[in-house]
């Protein structure tokens, strides 16, 4: 509770410092589009930029910042395609955080979270979300929100996440939760503009509705009844949920257009393949295994990466421990072991599970396979001890 209170007061002071600035901004053109120059610090937009600059500076030092040399340039390339004329304004930061989220601050600082990268099934889906954020940016939505903000109720939700330790950047959360509380109309408009931007850039017109639909399905797959009946959001900061009418609007826009993108999923998967194990392990830290399992099924639907995906499916079932989950875990680990990309840990888990159900010979084979494959594993001694115990038991 003390931690929570400290967080709350820190965020309040961040917000208070920014809201105190109240003059009118000059950085938007007559039609509401951003003209791209830095506003004066004495204006309310200037205050907003200053806060965004601070959050961006802090983001660069975060442990969750993905420092892979290829990933951020790749995401930036996608953002640029849909941002078009705003490409030069955008600075992309990929964060390894297991929630679906992307955001773009008024100063051009864009965060893309791994939870979004893991849930997009194609570059088109990723492009749509980035295009959505660019559309908020281009039309000054966050400034409108900043000016009209009366309530800080969504800060509580974000603080809950921050208190949970998974999402750590306090300043960022404090600023963004206030900036990105868009209205229903702004969300609908950003969807429509993002659709136009992505289609113009050559992406799949059906991707937008498909992604929002799949997010709603994931909500419905939660282990927790309260989550299952709650709203689905395209960003943890959004106050307006992804509703069936938003999806219907996107379906309407896509109707009659052709989907050009055979092989698009395969190409996107190649970009994120090496991160799958770490991101899936992160996702399980949310402890909503029903949702993780739903996500894994979607990732497995194209028949790629099955060794990795079946392993994490096994992990989700093993940890959840509902009725029947142990059998499902064993089945998933067994399936994983038949694929060339299975992590070596598959055979350790198989040994543990088979040993528990008295399948001694199979457990022995699994542990021996693990020791043969995992030459440098830190837990070799443990598996060796298990194996010794098993051999002694079978001799007596």
Q: Which of residues 189-228 bind Zn ion (CB under 5 A)?
A: 190
236 binds Zn ion (CB under 5 A): no
Closest distance of CB 285 from Zn ion, Å:
25
Handedness of CA 283, 285, 289, 290 (dihedral sign): negative
* Minimum distance of Zn ion from residue 132's CB (angstroms): 5
Q: Which stretch binds Zn ion (CB under 5 A): 32-40, 96-104, 186-194, 258-266?
A: 186-194
Buried b (16+ CB within 10 A) or exposed e, 41-73: eebbbbbbbbbbebbbeebeebebebeeeebbe
CB of 129 to Zn ion, least distance (A): 9
Binding segment toward Zn ion, per CB under 5 A, in 60-68, 184-192, 242-250, 357-365: 184-192
Q: Could you tell me how far CA 323 lies from the centroid of its own chain?
A: 29
- Give the residue with the Cβ less far from Zn ion, 237 or 370: 237
Cβ nearer to Zn ion, comparing 71 with 116? 116
User: How many Cα atoms sit within 13 Å of 7 on the Cβ side?
Assistant: 23
| Per-residue three-class SS string for 172-240 | HHHHHHHHCCCCHHHHHHHHHHHHHHHHHCCCCCCHHHHHHHHHHHHHHCCCCHHHHCCCCCCCCCCCC
Question: Is the dihedral angle over the CA atoms 62, 68, 70, 75 positive or is it negative?
Answer: negative
Residues with Cβ within 8 Å of 160's Cβ and at least 6 positions away in sequence, in order, are none
Closer residue to Zn ion, CB minimum distance, 56 or 187: 187
Nearer to Zn ion, 25 or 239 (CB): 239
CB of 136 to Zn ion, least distance (A): 6
Binding segment (CB under 5 A) for Zn ion, from list 156-164, 183-191, 224-232, 297-305: 183-191
Stretch that binds Zn ion, among 60-68, 185-193, 224-232, 336-344 (CB under 5 A): 185-193
Q: Which is nearer to Zn ion, 142 or 169 (CB)?
A: 142
Report the alpha-carbon distance of residue 76 to residue 81 in Å, rounded: 9
Residue 120 CB, shortest distance to Zn ion, in Å, is 16
At its nearest, how many Å lie between Zn ion and the CB of residue 100? 12
Q: Which is nearer to Zn ion, 130 or 353 (CB)?
A: 130
Nearest-approach distance from CB 364 to Zn ion, in angstroms: 55
Least Cβ distance, residue 236 to Zn ion (angstroms)? 11
Stretch that binds Zn ion, among 46-54, 113-121, 179-187, 362-370 (CB under 5 A): 179-187
Q: Are strands 91-95 and 109-113 parallel, antiparallel or unpaired?
A: parallel
Q: How many residues does the chain have?
A: 396
Query: Smaller CB distance to Zn ion: residue 194 or 353?
Result: 194
**What character string, x for contact with Zn ion (CB under 5 A) and - otherwise, covers 138-177?**
----------------------------------------
Number of residues that bind Zn ion (CB under 5 A): 2
Q: Give me the least distance between CB of 240 and Zn ion, in Å please.
A: 7
To the nearest whole angstrom, how small is the minimum distance from the Cβ of residue 42 to Zn ion?
A: 29
Nearest to 329, CA basis, from 296, 301, 374 = 296
Which lies closer to Zn ion via its Cβ, residue 133 or residue 349?
133
Residue with smaller CB distance to Zn ion, 176 or 350: 176
- Tell me the C-alpha distance between 195 and 205, whole Å: 7
8 A C-beta contact, residue 299 and residue 309: yes
Minimum separation from the CB atom of position 318 to Zn ion (A) = 36
In this complex, which beta carbon is closest to Zn ion, that of residue 96 or of residue 187?
187
Calculate the CA dihedral of residues 2, 4, 6, 8 and round it to 10 degrees. -150
Q: Do the Cβ atoms of 79 and 276 come closer than 8 Å?
A: no
Specify which residues 28 forms β-bridges with: 34
DSSP string, 251-317: HHHHTT-----TTHHHHHHHHHGGGHHHHHHHHHTT--HHHHHHHHHHHHTTS-SHHHHHHHHHHHH
Q: Which is nearer to Zn ion, 116 or 190 (CB)?
A: 190
Residues that bind Zn ion (CB under 5 A): 187, 190
């Amino acid at each position: 509770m003390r931690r929570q209170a400290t967080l709350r007061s820190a965020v309040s002071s961040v917000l208070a410092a920014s809201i105190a600035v109240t003059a009118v901004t000059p950085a938007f053109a007559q039609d509401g589009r951003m003209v791209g120059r830095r506003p004066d610090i004495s204006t309310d937009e200037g205050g907003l930029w200053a806060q965004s600059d601070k959050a961006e500076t802090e983001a660069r030092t975060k442990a969750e910042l993905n420092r892979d040399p290829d990933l951020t340039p790749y995401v930036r390339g996608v953002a640029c395609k849909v941002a078009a004329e705003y490409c030069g304004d955008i600075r992309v930061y990929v964060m390894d955080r297991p929630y679906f989220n992307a955001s773009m601050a008024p100063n051009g600082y864009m965060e893309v979270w791994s939870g979004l990268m893991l849930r997009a099934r194609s570059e088109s889906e990723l492009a749509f979300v980035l295009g959505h954020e660019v559309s908020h940016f281009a039309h000054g939505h966050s400034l409108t929100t900043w000016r009209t903000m009366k309530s800080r109720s969504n800060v509580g939700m974000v603080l809950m996440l921050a208190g949970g330790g998974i999402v750590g950047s306090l300043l960022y959360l404090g600023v963004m939760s206030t900036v990105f509380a868009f209205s229903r109309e702004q969300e609908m408009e950003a969807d429509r503009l993002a659709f136009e931007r992505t289609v113009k850039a050559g992406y799949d017109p059906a991707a937008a509705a498909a992604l929002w639909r799949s997010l709603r399905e994931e909500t419905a797959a939660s282990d927790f009844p309260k989550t299952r009946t709650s709203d689905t959001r395209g960003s943890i900061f959004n106050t307006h949920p992804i509703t069936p009418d938003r999806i219907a609007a996107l379906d309407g826009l896509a109707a009659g257009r052709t989907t050009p993108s055979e092989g698009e999923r395969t190409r996107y998967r190649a970009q994120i393949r090496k991160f799958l194990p770490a991101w899936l392990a992160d996702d399980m830290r949310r402890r909503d295994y029903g949702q993780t399992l739903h996500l894994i099924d979607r990732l497995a639907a194209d028949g790629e990466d099955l060794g990795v995906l079946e392993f994490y499916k096994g992990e989700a079932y093993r940890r959840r421990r509902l009725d029947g989950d142990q059998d499902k875990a064993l089945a998933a680990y067994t399936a994983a072991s038949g694929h060339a990309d299975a992590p070596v840990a598959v055979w350790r888990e198989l040994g543990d599970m088979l040993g528990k159900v008295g399948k001694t010979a199979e457990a022995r084979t699994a542990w021996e396979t693990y020791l043969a494959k995992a030459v440098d594993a830190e837990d070799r001694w443990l598996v060796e001890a298990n194996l010794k115990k098993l051999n002694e038991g079978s001799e007596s």
